[in-house]
Structure 1
């Protein structure tokens, strides 16, 4: 069993070492945070506390299991919001102590990176591979050499791409459907109407016109740096004229956001090839990876290899397992459970946690930064 509560989703799943997902419960909090324009920490903590017992009970019922059927309990140790992380950690500790089960704390981004091993079968045929981790809290490219050995090749210097999508959607006045987030709403807004085949920078017939959203790729000669704060500012500036075509701005924003991802990812692929690292695949995971427009764009892009080397193929988890879930946490813990490499009940959450450090012993007090 695995528990996840690093942000605003309360998640519980039951998975075995044969990659069978017996249950995968996700209780979202989008509706209660909408009035705050983002995740309100104390509200999120209370919601997790209310939802976690129900999620555990539901996961066991859907799997037709009881606690004696569970061999161990994993939980998201970090990174994330400290108080939110504590909810799943404390629940995991209590269950484990009461039923004499071992526990393991898991790095959230490790869970995202390894998800295709659980869901994509024969597509994942070993290490190393590149992972593009894109979510509301992270924009990162990492080289994955094993389940615990990561090298960060690029990361954001300001806000994450998912955060930028949320901000842009709110600026544009896009209202999410119940149970969905702002990023999903913005993608749907871009895809509605007569967008097929029409460049995003052109005005739609019969609608107000606007100057193209001017935004070049930031730090083009710094392949290790993503930056998305300027793009949301560009949207804000474009909206000063209330006669503009909001859908056109949304499409231009999305195009610019993805162009930066593709540019920096191509740099990372070329760097690996120059260093003689034979990449098996590029895994695209995290909440933004559920964007179908991005998936299409990545598949269609002519990535340029080095010395004639072909670029690696792309692997995407199912959209429902791109956003936060506990199945990925269960799978990321599996190699340690099989090796009987357990954590002590005194383990504490880590609000900040370097992905490159997870192969080492990383005990310590709760980080509050």
Structure 2
């Protein structure tokens, strides 16, 4: 069935005609929902005055992923410095900002508590308005903040693919506060499975996030591996063909089974399983191809479910940490051209550094509420799990 909705009244091109931007407003924004400690200063005319991201990758590589207690401790250590750096780079004092924004959820509770408490204390002490932001809403609206030309500016309604370590969503964006989920994962998020695959094939991070390190392995191979030595591996079958839902647990299991059956030391019952280097490259490539095929297929299917007469989709926006993968961007752009040769559907991707977690997107996502005169109560609490369709279901 084609998805048919009433035409959204907010179809004007942003930012110059943005209905909520009536005066310049400056926001100090904080983010600590996972493993990046972030602070930024953003204005209502789309100026990113500063954007500080303090990473913790070196603390988490030994665990093969984010260790929540370690992440929270690092946030507590780094948040004051991040705020100071953001203000210094913006050449502002904290009294110069008009409002304070922070990531309210979803995310890791201990990590969320760091930016929440910092933001509440600053806002209360300075008597500034305070806004708690939905993390995935911020990712969805980032493309509006980063557009460099009219052609790159998404027009409501648009489709967004939000792909990260905690989420895999296709969302119809009707306005800055209005979202409709078209597809989500029934089990694991794509980013979490990518991280698991990176652990299984023993990817060295080398200062990169595990997903970026896996991308580099699949693209470049290894120095001691010749292309002719890389084995051909059958592609795994993808679940739910023709259905608007994701499932990555099967891919996760496929990687684990492959490592188990092809490790030369399996019979010795070693605690750690090892693949030969040619097999590591092969698994990385086949796994990444399968994960990206699923994402591409579901985006195309979602667009086919949207009636172009009532839901005039002109733009597809990709954001979230996995959206920084340049190989996937090229593949999705090609898939859209192939599936819709007669429709001018533009793929818009924020710069890779603004696809991953950052505070600039949090500041921008708060802007329409600040300029509407809104403010959250200083007693606001974080929300660990929070649907993007329920932005107004605010729990004190």
Out of 345, 354, 371, which is 1:338 matched to? Answer: 371
The residue number in structure 1 matching 2:231 is 209
The residue number in structure 2 matching 1:55 is 82
1:220 paired to 2:241: yes
Out of 107, 116, 121, which is 2:134 matched to? Answer: 107
The residue number in structure 1 matching 2:209 is 181
Out of 60, 81, 106, which is 1:33 matched to? Answer: 60
Structure 2 distance, partners of 1:217, 1:10, is 36
Displacement after TM superposition at 1:303 (Å): 4.4
Displacement after TM superposition at 1:276 (Å): 2.8
Displacement after TM superposition at 1:174 (Å): 0.8
Q: What do you get for the CA RMSD once the two structures are aligned?
A: 1.8
1:133 paired to 2:187: no
Out of 2, 5, 9, which is 2:36 matched to? Answer: 9
1:354 paired to 2:383: no
Task: State the SS of the aligned residue for 2:240.
Answer: coil
Task: State the SS of the aligned residue for 1:344.
Answer: coil
Out of 237, 256, 264, which is 2:257 matched to? Answer: 237
Cα distance, 1:343–1:38 mapped onto 2, change above 3 Å:
same
Task: State the SS of the aligned residue for 1:226.
Answer: coil
Task: State the SS of the aligned residue for 1:132.
Answer: strand
Task: State the SS of the aligned residue for 2:394.
Answer: coil
Task: State the SS of the aligned residue for 2:322.
Answer: helix
Displacement after TM superposition at 1:363 (Å): 2.1
Structure 2 distance, partners of 1:241, 1:207, is 15
Structure 2 distance, partners of 1:303, 1:135, is 26
Normalization by structure 1: what TM-score? 0.91
Deviations 1:6-41 (A, max 9, x none): 111110000000111010000111111122222222
Structure 1 distance, partners of 2:61, 2:202, is 12
The residue number in structure 2 matching 1:144 is 173
Structure 2 distance, partners of 1:184, 1:124, is 27
The residue number in structure 1 matching 2:10 is none
Displacement after TM superposition at 1:204 (Å): 5.6
Task: State the SS of the aligned residue for 2:165.
Answer: coil
1:72 paired to 2:103: no
Are the counterparts in 2 of residues 204 and 248 from structure 1 also a CA contact under 8 Å? no
Which structure 1 residue ranges, 5 or more long, are not aligned? Answer: 195-202, 365-369
Are the counterparts in 2 of residues 213 and 238 from structure 1 also a CA contact under 8 Å? no
Structure 1 distance, partners of 2:58, 2:86, is 22
Task: State the SS of the aligned residue for 2:262.
Answer: coil
1:292 paired to 2:329: no
Displacement after TM superposition at 1:355 (Å): 0.5
Out of 238, 247, 262, which is 2:281 matched to? Answer: 247
Displacement after TM superposition at 1:241 (Å): 1.2
Out of 314, 328, 346, which is 1:313 matched to? Answer: 346
What is the total number of aligned residue pairs between the two structures?
Answer: 351
Structure 2 distance, partners of 1:120, 1:136, is 25
1:304 paired to 2:331: no
Cα distance, 1:205–1:77 mapped onto 2, change above 3 Å:
closer
Structure 1 distance, partners of 2:29, 2:59, is 24
Normalization by structure 2: what TM-score? 0.85
Structure 2 distance, partners of 1:289, 1:351, is 23
Cα distance, 1:48–1:126 mapped onto 2, change above 3 Å:
same
Displacement after TM superposition at 1:206 (Å): 4.2
